[in-house]
Chains A and B, each alone.
Chain A
Amino acid sequence: MAEFSIDRFVDRYAERTAGMSASEVRALFAVASRPDVVSLAGGMPFVDALPAQALLDVSTEVITRGRSQALQYGGGQGQLALRERLTMLMAEEGVVADPDDVVVTTGAQQALDLLGKIFIDPGDTIAVEAPSYVGALTAFAAYQPRFLTLETDNDGMIVEQLEQAIVRGERPTFVYTVPNFGNPAGVTMARARREHLVSLCREAGIPIVEDNPYGLLRFEGEPLPCLRSLDPHNVIYLGTVSKTFSPGVRVGWALADPSVIQRIVLAKEAADLCGSNLTMSLTERWFSDEARWRGALADLVRTYRGRRDVMLQAIEEHFPDTATWTQPAGGFYVWVSLPEWFDTTAMLAAAVERRVAYVPGSAFYPDGRGRDRMRLAFCYPTEDRILDGVARLGALLEDEDQLYRSLRPS
Chain B
Amino acid sequence: MTASLTDLGHEAWIVDPAEASLVESLGERRPELCWLALHGKEGEDGTVQRLLDLLGLRYTGTAPFGCEIAFDKVLAKDVLAGAAVRTPPWVVVEGWALRDLGAGAALGEVVDRIGLPCVVKPSRSGSALGVGFVDRASDLPQAVMAALSYSGAAVVEAKVEGREVAAALVGEDLEPLPLVEIVPKGGAYDYAARYTAGATEYFCPARLEAEPTAAVTQLARQAAQALGLRDLTRVDLIVDDQDRAWVLEVNVSPGMTETSLVPMAAQARGMMLTGLCDVILRSALARA
B65 sits at the interface (CB 8 A)? no
Q: Which of B104, B130, B144, B201 contacts A349 (CB 8 A)?
A: B130
For the complex, what is the distance from the CA of A20 to the CA of B197, rounded to whole Å?
A: 10
Known: A13-B198, A400-B145, A407-B98. A22 touches B204 (CB 8 A): no
Across the interface, do B104 and A408 meet the contact criterion of CB distance under 8 Å? yes
Comparing A159-167, A340-348, A386-394, the segment that makes contact with chain B is: A340-348
Q: Interface digits, B123-145 against A, CB 8 Å rule (1 contact, 0 not)?
A: 00101011000000000011011
Query: B204's closest neighbor in chain A, by CB?
Result: A4
Which A residues touch B104, using CB under 8 A? 405-409
Indicate if the CB atoms of B192 and A346 lie closer than 8 Å: no
**Which B residues are CB-close (under 8 A) to A4?**
180, 202-204, 264, 267-268
Instruction: Tell yes or no: A2 within 8 A of B by CB.
Output: yes
Taking a contact as CB atoms under 8 Å apart, the answer to whether B130 and A403 are in contact is: no
A350 touches B149 (CB 8 A): yes
A322 to B200: give the CA distance in the assembly, Å: 41
Which 6 A-B pairs have CB atoms at the shortest separation, nearest pair first? A346-B146, A7-B197, A10-B198, A22-B195, A407-B141, A350-B149
Is chain B's interface secondary structure helix, strand, loop, or mixed overall? helix
Answer whether A347 and B192 are a contact pair too, CB < 8 Å, given A2-B268, A403-B95, A408-B141: no
Chain A residues whose C-beta falls within 8 Å of the C-beta of B130 in the assembled complex: 346, 349
Is B259 part of the contact surface with A, judged by Cβ < 8 Å?
yes
Show 12 A/B contacts (Cβ-Cβ < 8 Å), sorted by A. A2-B203, A3-B201, A6-B198, A7-B197, A23-B192, A27-B191, A402-B99, A403-B148, A404-B145, A406-B99, A407-B98, A409-B102
Whether the pair B149, A349 counts as a contact (CB closer than 8 A) is yes
B114–chain A nearest beta-carbon distance, Å: 16
Q: Complex: how many Å from CA A161 to CA B102?
A: 45
Interface positions of A (Cβ within 8 A of B):
1-7, 10, 13, 20-24, 27, 341, 343, 346-350, 399-400, 402-409
> In the bound complex, do residue B259 and residue A406 qualify as a contact, i.e. CB atoms below 8 Å apart?
no
CB contacts (< 8 Å) of A348 on chain B: these are 149
Binary CB contact string for chain B from 257 to 286 against chain A (1 if under 8 A, 0 otherwise): 001000010011000000000000000000
Q: Given the complex, which residues of A lie within 8 Å of B99, measured CB to CB?
A: 399, 402-403, 406
Given known contacts A1-B205, A13-B198, A23-B192, A403 and B129 CB-to-CB distance under 8 angstroms: no
